[in-house]
Amino acid sequence: MEISAIKGFKDILPRETALWQWVEAEARGVFNAFGFKEIRTPLLEKTELFSRSIGQDTDIVSKEMYTLTDSKGEGITLRPEATSSVVRAYIQNRLYQDNPVQKLYSIGPMFRHERPQKGRFRQFHQINAELFGDPGPASDADIIIMIMHLFNVLGLNDVVLNINSLGCPVCRTVFRDKLRAFLSERSGRLCEDCRRRAEYNPLRVFDCKVESCKEIVSDAPSILDFICDDCARHFSLLREYLDNSGIRYVINHRLVRGLDYYSRTTFEIQTDRLGAQNAVAGGGRYDGLIKQLEGPDYPAIGFGIGFERLVALIEDSIKKDYNRPEIFMAGLGADAEKKVFGWVTELRRSGISAEMEYGSKGLKAQMKKADRIGAKRALIVGEDELVSGKGILRDMDTKDQKEIGLDNLVQGIINIIKNGTGHRE
Ligand code: HAM
């Protein structure tokens, strides 16, 4: 029987990888400009790392982790997110020693045993950035400006930035009690999960998708009315930075995020183009986490972008082909085929994507292939062209044709590609 991939795990196929590579290259370019350096952490970590950082009561830790026991009986887990691992690496490698302020990014797969659906997978990919050692609010603004700039570079200007403040542990406790009281008066109309959540983690009720719960929380008190003066000042300065930088945002006091480590600034980038999975990216401040994992008491902020969702948005908005060979060379007859083989090899060695047919094929079949692979141009060379020393160069978009000298052909083609002469890119 044919073996298929595990449910919720998917191949990223050759027709998709060009777009993935382009997104990754643009992300690396933006991170570089903002002074972020790459870090690569293992996919497997001790289970305890995630339960202590993300929170025992969260959906991720309580039901979505891929956990196994190694031969020594230790629990190990495929990472469901990157932040915990990057914090562990910051502590373990004493990355704070020379300078506590460290700006790190990482790109790679994450694993969550969720119910697969459109935009939701069990293995998915994230682009993460984490900024350690600064309490903000300038660094909060910096990280938000950076992510919005990346979306802009990727041509995604219709996404909506939601921001909120979750306060600090002190003022959040006051709000939590208030919310718990509000929910307990209405517990009869809450779903079963939320009745439980209302007790141990009432803020989580804001995330419930059940209609009756959504209705209840629409009247719930706002955390922004409860945060302390310091947290309020932090949030207002952040907004000032964002306003001055021309960043548009929506203040969403019900934005709570699904991980326990957040404090103060939280944000999410949402879209209405992906159905139920409307969050393309999420992040926020997690000032207590480094200390909680036995590191020094340094603050931090960061974000994670869902790669699959990002790619789906781009595919949906720009129909751009990222994978077009610069040229297809069609040789007709044994001599021309050999010549073509040599020219294609030389072009490829010069870094130009060039294609050809391996076996002998007629002109029609070769042009069909040039079309199918999306070649920008085609060179046609048969016996007559070899004699005259001039091949035919066809623009595959406009179908314009012109002659091109076969002496020094490779250099001639490189010049045409570099100058973009006579061809639409
Ligand atoms: P998160 O909100 O759990 O945050 O995930 C970030 C993004 O990853 C989401 O907005 C979504 O686009 C994508 N994502 C999450 N789960 C799935 C899934 N099952 N399938 C496809 N995409 C998914 C975090 O993970 C935090 N560590 C972000 C962060 C970094 N906060 C501070 N630093």
352-370: per-residue pLDDT in tens? Answer: 999 999 989 999 999 999 9
Give the C-alpha distances (Å, rounded to integers) separating 316 from 154, 155, 328, 380.
12, 11, 28, 35
Q: Do 183 and 205 form a contact (C-beta atoms < 8 A)?
A: yes
Tell me what the mean pLDDT of segment 226-230 comes to: 97
- On whether residue 178 sits in a domain, the answer given is no
Alpha carbon distance 274, 272 (integer Å) = 6
Q: Does the pLDDT at position 21 exceed 50?
A: yes
Number of the ligand 1 atom closest to the C-alpha atom of 84: 27
Do 287 and 335 lie in a common domain?
no
Do 276 and 379 lie in a common domain?
no
Do 369 and 308 lie in a common domain?
no
Alpha carbon distance 200, 153 (integer Å) = 42
Per-residue confidence at 322, pLDDT binned at 50, 70, 90? low
- On whether residue 198 sits in a domain, the answer given is no
Last residue of a domain, one of 297, 317, 337: 317
What is the per-residue pLDDT across 149-188, written as a single tens digit (0 to 9) for each? 999 999 999 999 999 999 999 999 999 999 999 999 998 9
Q: Global pTM?
A: 0.89
Do 41 and 141 lie in a common domain?
yes
Q: What is the pLDDT of residue 423?
A: 38
Alpha carbon distance 127, 30 (integer Å) = 12
Do 20 and 137 lie in a common domain?
yes
Per-residue confidence at 277, pLDDT binned at 50, 70, 90? confident
| Cβ(302) – ligand 1 distance below 6 Å | yes
Please enumerate in sequence order all residues whose Cβ is within 8 A of that of 128, keeping only pairs 6 or more positions apart, or say none: 82, 83, 86, 105, 106, 107, 302, 303, 304, 305
Which residue(s) pair with 266 in the sheet? Answer: 164, 284
Q: Does the pLDDT at position 317 exceed 70?
A: no
Do 393 and 264 lie in a common domain?
no
Per-residue confidence at 15, pLDDT binned at 50, 70, 90? confident
User: Domain range for residue 53?
Assistant: 14-168+227-317
Q: What is the pLDDT of residue 421?
A: 52
Residues in the chain: 425
Q: From 247, 249, 10, select the one nearest 121 (Cα to Cα).
A: 10
Do 369 and 245 lie in a common domain?
no
Helix, strand, or coil here: 156?
coil
Task: Indicate the top mutation candidate among 12, 31, 107, 110 to test ligand 1's pocket, ranked by most ligand atoms within 8 A of CB.
Answer: 110
Q: Do 377 and 414 form a contact (C-beta atoms < 8 A)?
A: no
Q: What is the pLDDT of residue 275?
A: 86
- On whether residue 252 sits in a domain, the answer given is yes
Any idea what the CATH number is for the domain that residue 40 is in? 3.30.930.10
Alpha carbon distance 377, 328 (integer Å) = 6
* Residue bearing the CA closest to ligand 1, atom 26: 304
